[in-house]
């Protein structure tokens, strides 16, 4: 059973930052227009993915965890 600590708030912000970054890359590289809903959909989707990943994604071993255990 996976008992790792989950970080949904961190996942939220990670997804939000990633979403904002990707949306802005899309705008400057003319993949999408600024004045459309598309960049905001990217932000929302990646923010949700961040939270979902934080809640249900695989946990990873932290550096030094085994030494202090």
Interface residues toward another protein, by CB under 8 A: 5-10, 13-14, 17-18, 20-22, 24-25, 27-30, 33-40, 50, 62-64
CB of 52 to another protein, least distance (A): 13
User: At 13, phi and psi to the nearest 5?
Assistant: -70, -35
CB of 1 to another protein, least distance (A): 16
Residue nearer to another protein on the CB measure, 6 or 56: 6
Structure tokens at 67: 């030494």
User: At 65, phi and psi to the nearest 5?
Assistant: -65, -40
Check if the beta carbon of residue 5 is closer than 8 Å to that of residue 62.
no
């Amino acid at each position: 059973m996976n008992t790792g600590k989950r970080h949904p708030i961190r996942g939220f912000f990670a997804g939000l930052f990633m979403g904002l970054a990707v949306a802005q890359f899309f705008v400057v590289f003319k993949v999408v227009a600024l004045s459309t809903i598309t960049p905001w959909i990217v932000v929302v989707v990646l923010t949700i993915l961040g939270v979902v990943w934080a809640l249900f994604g695989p946990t990873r071993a932290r550096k030094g965890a085994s030494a202090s255990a």
